Amino acid sequence: MSTLKRFFQDTFIYGLATVLPRLMNFLLVRLHTGTLENASYSDNTTFYIYAAFFNVLLTYGMETSFFRFFNKEKAKQDRVFSTALISLTITTILFFGLVWYFNDSISNYVNLKLSHFNFLIGVLALDTLVVVPFAYLRASGRPIKFSIIKLSNVFTYVLLNLFFLWAMPTYNIRFLELYKDDPVHYVFVSNLVASALTFLLLLPYFFKSKVQFEFSILKKLLAYGWPVMVAGMAYIINENFDKWLIPQLLGKDINGAYSACYKIAVFMTIFIQGFRLGAEPFFFSHAKEKNAKNTYAMVMKYFVILGSLMLVFVTAYLNFFKEILVADRSYWIAIEIVPIVLLANLLLGIYFNLSIWYKLTDNTRFGMYISLIGAVVTIVLNYLLIPEIGFIASAWTTLIAYSVMVIISYLLSRKYYKVPYNLRSIGLYLFIASVFAFASFYIFDSHILIGTFLLFLFLAIVYIKERKEILKILQA
C-alpha cells in the first residue's frame, strides 16, 4: 500500500470519528436553539470558549511535543509516554485543587455563574487527563480504538442532552429539577458525565508502563511545547474572541444568533479536524522518508481540493441546512456569515498543513509568532469594525486573520523547509470555489438548481485536471 494511500485511509477513519460526532451535534444545534433562548445559547457558547482556552493552557503543548519525541526518540518511547503522562497528571490535579479553592472569586472574574464554573473545571480536569492516552493511540497507529472511545463520549453527551432537554419536558420526567429554571445546566451535566466515561475507558493506559519520569525528557517536551501552547492560545482568540466581544458590544441575543449560524460552518471544521488527527502523526513519522516533501505537497493539493468542494457544497445547499439545523428563525439574522466563515476555516486548514515546516525543524516559536500576529489582527479589527458594521465584521476579520497567517507561514517555509507546493493548482481551486460559493449564496440566494450546477461544474474541473493522478493513487 502506498504511503499516501495509507495516509488517506487513516485520515478517513479519524475523520469518521470526527464527522459522526459532529453530525450528532447537529441534532443538538437544533435542540439547543429550539429549547434555549438566544441569551442562554450565548451563555453556552461562553462556557465552551473558556473551556477551549483553559484546555490549551492546561495541556501546555504536550500533545504536539509527545508526537515529536515519541517518533524522534524510538528507543525511549515508554519513557516519553510516562514522563508526559505524569507531568500532565500532576499539573491537572494541582490546577483542579487550586481553582476549586478559589472558585467563587474566579467565577466572578470570568463572568460565569458559580455552578457553571464548577462544571467547567470538572470537565477541564477530566479532558486534560486523557490527552496523553489519546495521543498515544494516534502515535501508535490505532485509529479504530481512538475513534470508538471518541464516539462513546459523544453518544453519551448527545443522549443525555436529548434526555434532559427533550424527554424530560415531553414526558414530564422529574429529575435534577433544581436546574429546570436554567436548562443550560443540563448541557454541562451531560458534558461532565461524557468526560468521566472517557476517562474511565482510558484509565488502563495510566498503568500500561512502569513509572519512568525523566527530567531530561520533560525539559525537551516543555521547550518544544510552550510555543505551541502560546500559539494555541492565540488560535483560541482567533476562533472565539468575536463570540466573547459581541455580547458586550451588541448583546447576548445577537451573539446567540451569530454563534448558532457560525456552527453551520462546522462542515469545514469537521473536515479540518479529521485531517489534523490523521496528518500530525503521519507528518512526524514520515519526515525522514526520501520523498517526504513531495508527499506533503500532494497532501496539501488534495486537502485544498476537498476543502474547496466542501465550501461549494455547503453554500449551494445552505437554505436546506439552516432549515434542518437551526430551529428558531430568530437565529437566521446571522446566516450571511456562513460562506465567509467556511472560507476562513479552509484557510485555517491550509495554515495547519503549512505548519509542518516549523514543527519538523523544531522552530515552534515561529508558529507562536504567526499565531500572535493573527490574534492581534483579530482583536484590533473586531474592536474597530463591530461598532461600525455589526457582527458581519467578525466573519470578515476571521478571514483576514487566517489569510495573513497563511501568507506569513508560506513565506517563512520557503526559507526553513521548502516544500514544492503546486501553487498554480491550489490557487486555481481556491479561486474557482470562492467565486462559485459566494455567487451561489450572495447572488443566487443558494438556489438549489444553480448551486447544484456549480457544484458539478467544480467536480468536472477537478476530474479533468486530476483524473490521471487520482487513478494512480487508487491503484498503488
- Residue 215 is placed in which grid cell? 527530567
pLDDT value of position 345:
92
Residue with cell 442562554: 40
Percent of the chain with pLDDT over 90: 37
- pLDDT at residue 396 tops 90: yes
Measured CA to CA in angstroms, residue 115 lies from 161, 182, 187 at distances of 18, 11, 12
Residue 144: partners with Cβ closer than 8 Å, 6 or more residues away: 13
- Tell me, rounded to whole angstroms, the distance of Cα 440 from its chain centroid: 26
- pLDDT tens-digit readout, 414-462: 988 888 999 999 999 999 999 999 999 989 888 889 999 999 999 999 9
- pLDDT tens-digit readout, 188-228: 999 999 999 999 999 998 887 777 888 889 998 998 888 88
Lowest mean pLDDT among 6-10, 48-52, 278-282: 6-10
- pLDDT at residue 13 tops 80: no
- pLDDT at residue 394 tops 90: yes
- pLDDT at residue 2 tops 60: no
Half-sphere exposure of 144 (CA within 13 A, CB side): 0
- Residue 298 is placed in which grid cell? 500532494
pLDDT value of position 455:
94
Confidence of residue 312 (pLDDT cuts 50, 70, 90): very high
- pLDDT at residue 476 tops 80: no
Q: The dihedral of CA 384, 386, 392, 398: what is its sign?
A: positive
* For range 238-258, the mean pLDDT: 86
The number of domains in the chain is 1
pLDDT value of position 362:
79
Residue 333 burial (10 A CB sphere; 0-12, 13-18, 19+): middle
pLDDT value of position 435:
96
pLDDT value of position 24:
66
* For range 47-70, the mean pLDDT: 85
pLDDT value of position 1:
43
Confidence of residue 278 (pLDDT cuts 50, 70, 90): low
Global pTM?
0.75
3-state SS track over the chain? CCHHHHHHHHHHHHHHHHHHHHHHHHHHHHHHHHHCCHHHHHHHHHHHHHHHHHHHHHHCCHHHHHHHHHHHCHHHHHHHHHHHHHHHHHHHHHHHHHHHHCHHHHHHHCCCCHHHHHHHHHHHHHHHHCHHHHHHHHHCCCHHHHHHHHHHHHHHHHHHHHHHHHHHHHCCCCCCHHHCCCCHHHHHHHHHHHHHHHHHHHHHHHHCCCCCCCHHHHHHHHHHHHHHHHHHHHHHHHHHHHHHHHHHHCCHHHHHHHHHHHHHHHHHHHHHHHHHHHHHHHHHHCCCCCCHHHHHHHHHHHHHHHHHHHHHHHHHCHHHHHHHHCCCHHHHHHHHHHHHHHHHHHHHHHHHHHCHHHHHCCCHHHHHHHHHHHHHHHHHHHHHHHHHHCCHHHHHHHHHHHHHHHHHHHHHHHHHCCCCCCHHHHHHHHHHHHHHHHHHHHHCCCCHHHHHHHHHHHHHHHHHHHHHHHHHHHHC
pLDDT value of position 139:
80
pLDDT value of position 102:
93
- Residue 114 is placed in which grid cell? 458559580
Residue 411 burial (10 A CB sphere; 0-12, 13-18, 19+): exposed
- Residue 254 CA to residue 250 CA, distance in Å, equals 6
> Of residues 161 and 147, which shows the higher confidence score?
161
- Residue 274 CA to residue 303 CA, distance in Å, equals 11
- pLDDT at residue 233 tops 50: yes
> Of residues 409 and 327, which shows the higher confidence score?
409
> Of residues 388 and 74, which shows the higher confidence score?
388
Range of the domain at 57: 3-475
- Residue 113 CA to residue 181 CA, distance in Å, equals 14
Measured CA to CA in angstroms, residue 304 lies from 4, 232, 283 at distances of 16, 23, 17
Of 48-57, 234-243, 312-321, highest mean pLDDT: 312-321
